[in-house]
């Protein structure tokens, strides 16, 4: 069960109803900047984590301006599309609501999931940068920690993403093996603990560096499984020329 820190109280709460009913997740972005994109990215992670746990989700974007820019940049980052309307239909108006906001953002009643700012000179995806590189760079720290986006951070994310995609493509040529139970448990424990995505990334690095006792086919399935949350297109280079 996904537990999330409610910024109103500082206490963890269940992110989904006990019976796996519909949960509404609403991203609040006052305008277009990279902090707003981080808010949308955290919303996407929250939606993915809930769906992986079997919870249906209704995701909405609340933005008084710059909606077109926000939606376009979010799509480039691999954020799933937000619904267009706010009406969730008859009989569903009592669905729990999770509001994802920037630090200090005011929202209506409901759990508040707060996101620290991104310190960046320019809004959006830097020119010439694979959007997935920006996504990985933003995933590297807990959402409560500010992110300083500089050339070194983006370069490191670019190298990591290229290496993982290349290695995953190689692992895919080996006989398939299931995700080891302990690895699956560590991954789920991480993302169900207040969306601890940096810990998910640490598990993937451990899997990458583990010794020969871990079959390559299991490494591939582990990365493919984790990417259902991360959304980094880690299997994108399957079948590509070496």
Name the residue among 100, 55, 109 with its Cα closest to residue 82: 100
Tens of pLDDT, residue by residue over 201-234, are 999 999 999 988 999 999 999 999 999 999 999 9
* pTM score, whole prediction: 0.92
- The predicted pLDDT at position 90 comes to 43
* In the predicted structure, residue 242 carries a pLDDT above the cut 70: no
- Answer yes or no: are the C-beta atoms of 40 and 111 closer than 8 Å: no
Residue 91 pLDDT grade (very low, low, confident, very high; cuts 50, 70, 90): very low
29 and 80 both lie in a single domain: yes
160 and 79 both lie in a single domain: no
Domain boundary residue, one of 124, 145, 171: 124
Which CATH number belongs to the domain containing residue 175 in this structure? 1.20.120
Name the residue among 29, 50, 22 with its Cα closest to residue 195: 50
- The predicted pLDDT at position 150 comes to 86
Residue 137 pLDDT grade (very low, low, confident, very high; cuts 50, 70, 90): very high
Containing structural domain, residue 21:
3-124
Angle at 209 between CA 159 and CA 166, to 5 degrees: 40
Cα gap 232→210, rounded to integer Å = 21
Query: Which one-letter DSSP state was computed for residue 97?
Result: E
Q: Which pair of tokens denotes residue 165? A: 């995609």
Tens of pLDDT, residue by residue over 160-208, are 999 999 999 999 999 999 999 999 999 999 999 999 999 999 999 999 9
115 and 16 both lie in a single domain: yes
Task: Give φ, ψ of 21 to 5 degrees.
Answer: -75, 175
- The predicted pLDDT at position 86 comes to 58
């Amino acid at each position: 069960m996904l537990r999330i820190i409610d910024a109103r109280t500082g206490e963890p709460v269940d992110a989904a109803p006990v019976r796996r009913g519909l949960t509404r997740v609403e991203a609040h972005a006052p305008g277009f900047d990279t902090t707003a994109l981080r808010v949308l990215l955290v919303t996407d992670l929250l939606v993915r984590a809930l769906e992986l746990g079997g919870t249906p989700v209704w995701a909405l974007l609340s933005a008084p301006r710059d909606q077109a820019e926000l939606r376009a940049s979010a799509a480039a980052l691999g954020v799933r599309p937000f619904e267009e309307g706010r009406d969730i239909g008859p009989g569903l108006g009592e669905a729990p609501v999770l509001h994802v906001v920037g630090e200090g953002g005011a929202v209506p009643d409901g759990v508040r999931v707060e996101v620290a700012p991104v310190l960046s000179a320019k809004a959006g995806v830097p020119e010439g940068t694979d959007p997935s590189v920006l996504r990985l760079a933003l995933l590297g720290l807990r959402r409560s920690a500010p992110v300083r986006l500089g050339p070194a951070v983006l370069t490191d994310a670019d190298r990591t993403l290229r290496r993982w995609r290349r290695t995953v493509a190689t692992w895919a040529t080996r006989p398939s093996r299931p995700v080891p139970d302990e690895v699956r448990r560590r991954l789920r424990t991480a993302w169900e603990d207040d969306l601890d995505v940096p810990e998910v990334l640490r598990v993937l690095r451990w899997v990458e560096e583990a010794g020969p006792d871990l079959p390559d086919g299991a490494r591939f399935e582990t990365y493919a499984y984790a990417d259902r949350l991360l959304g980094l297109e880690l299997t994108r280079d399957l079948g590509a020329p070496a």
